Amino acid sequence: MSTSTLPPFPDDLPVQDLLVIDYKLLKAGDKSQADALWTAATTWGFWYLKNHEAEDFVEPMLEMGRDTLALPFEEKMKYWQGNKGDSFGYKVAGATYADADGSTDLAEFINVSKDDALAYPNVVHKVYPPTVNVRMKDAVKPFIQSCAKSSRVLIDVFNQKLGLPEGTLAALHRTEVECISESRCIKVPPPPKDTKVALGQHTDFGSISFLVNRLGGLQVLVPNGGSGEWKYVKPIPGYAICNIGDTLSILSGGILKSAVHRVVPPPGDQRQFERWSLVYFARPTNEVYLEALSNQSPLIAQAVQSSKDKNYTPGMTAAQWFAKRQTQHRTDGDKVRSIIRYFIPLKSHFLDRVLKAT
Ligand SMILES: O=C(O)CCC(=O)C(=O)O
Ligand SMILES: [Fe+2]
């Protein structure tokens, strides 16, 4: 369904106002855009990005997602991400808790590793369904390259504003080095009547997320000093929604804000439609040790000093922390399920389906 035939986002909901950054101007060195980006990233942790240069790849990527997630369940499970901390591949709906009441998420994903897309047809981490492979060259690879390039421009602005030596953050995000960066295509079916949350509240793990969605449902909790109220982020046709993830927040000693967000059922008449979104997660390279870069920036040192209660050193590398985070909210990692699985020698994906249906 094209954007123009979808029902509009209702106009009577609490919406978070966000700044619009013009990527074209930012890339050309425009100072006012860099200042606005800094304000957005240090205040809300979210902003819109226009003229982002990935426009031509959005529809082919969504088509890849539609074809892939329409495959039979058994076929998709051949590319399952597993439940041991890996993300690349297929994520089953219901694999994570969505709410404190124990309800589970409704979102299916197909995640493609940046390394696999750039190396294709060579395999670095994982193989993907034919529906992905046929679009690797013309959609997945150029989409990932475009987002990796724009995230690098944004990262360079943050580097300069944080007073870090030139190229410090870029060196932690080198495209040619193996990392956990990935593209994600998400499908949320029209939710059952009593659904409150479709994808549970979280912060993004990585450095910068680049998101395109068409239906409402994304909600954000504004960091420090916000109202404490969930606000919708209204999709704007042609614009990407970008946000800071935990890694950049840690490296900057909390100066860059990683905001909590979630996905609820699309509002109003939008609720009866499938919700599709597309993300690129720019993440640091695997061996980056996560800590505030206080030794390289007085601004960061000062920020860490003035927030002593916060821990900016998880004591592990980016890849280790990511694996830990990936397993945290999984429904197939809890004790009851493990016990059932021990006694019922079924293949785990069939069991997942059974447990999800109960
Ligand atoms: O689908 C959306 O609008 C947001 C998805 C998201 O937050 C995520 O995948 O981390
Ligand atoms: Fe997210």
262 alpha carbon to ligand 1 midpoint, in Å?
7
What average pLDDT does the segment 266-272 reach? Answer: 97
- Give the whole-number percent of the chain exceeding pLDDT 90: 83
| Cβ–Cβ under 8 Å, residues 292 and 253 | yes
Residue 190 belongs to some domain of the structure: yes
Residue 10 belongs to some domain of the structure: no
CATH, residue 141:
2.60.120.330
DSSP string, 124-158: SS----HHHHTTIIIIIHHHHHHHHHHHHHHHHHH
Residue 16 belongs to some domain of the structure: no
Token duo for residue 257: 């804000």
Residue 30 belongs to some domain of the structure: no
Nearest CA to ligand 1 atom 7: 262
Atom of ligand 1 nearest to the CA of 204: 10
Residue 241 belongs to some domain of the structure: yes
Atom of ligand 1 nearest to the CA of 277: 1
What average pLDDT does the segment 59-71 reach? Answer: 98
Residues 6+ apart with CB under 8 A from 161: 34, 38
Q: Is the dihedral of CA 230, 231, 232, 238 positive or negative?
A: negative
Q: Measure the CA–CA gap between 68 and 66, rounded to whole angstroms.
A: 6
Whether this prediction's pTM lies above 0.90 is answered by yes
- Residue 160's CB: how many other CB atoms inside 10 A? 14
- Higher pLDDT: 20 or 311? It is 20
Atom of ligand 1 nearest to the CA of 275: 1
297 alpha carbon to ligand 1 midpoint, in Å?
32
For the cut 80, the answer to whether the pLDDT of residue 356 exceeds it is no
Residue 20 belongs to some domain of the structure: no
Atom of ligand 1 nearest to the CA of 188: 1
Residue 69 belongs to some domain of the structure: yes
Note down the domain range covering 173: 51-335
345 alpha carbon to ligand 2 midpoint, in Å?
34
273 alpha carbon to ligand 1 midpoint, in Å?
17
125 alpha carbon to ligand 2 midpoint, in Å?
23
28 alpha carbon to ligand 2 midpoint, in Å?
28
Atom of ligand 1 nearest to the CA of 279: 9
What tens digit of pLDDT does each residue of 110-140 get?
999 999 999 999 999 999 999 999 999 999 9
244 alpha carbon to ligand 2 midpoint, in Å?
10
Nearest CA to ligand 1 atom 1: 277
As for how many domains the chain has, the answer is: 1
Taking all residues of the chain, what is their mean pLDDT, rounded to a whole number? 91
Residue 96 belongs to some domain of the structure: yes
What average pLDDT does the segment 311-334 reach? Answer: 86
Question: What is the C-alpha end-to-end distance of the chain, expressed in Å?
Answer: 32
Nearest CA to ligand 1 atom 9: 279
Nearest CA to ligand 1 atom 10: 204
| Reported confidence tier of residue 354, pLDDT bands at 50, 70, 90 | very low
Atom of ligand 1 nearest to the CA of 261: 7
What tens digit of pLDDT does each residue of 210-255 get?
999 999 999 999 877 667 899 999 999 999 999 999 999 999 999 9
Q: What are phi and psi of 67, to 5 degrees?
A: -65, -40
For the cut 70, the answer to whether the pLDDT of residue 170 exceeds it is yes
Residues near ligand 1 with C-beta < 6 Å?
A: 184, 186, 199, 204, 211, 213, 218, 261, 263, 277, 279
Pocket test for ligand 1, best of 277, 325, 326 (most atoms within 8 A of CB): 277
Which pLDDT does position 345 carry in this prediction? 37
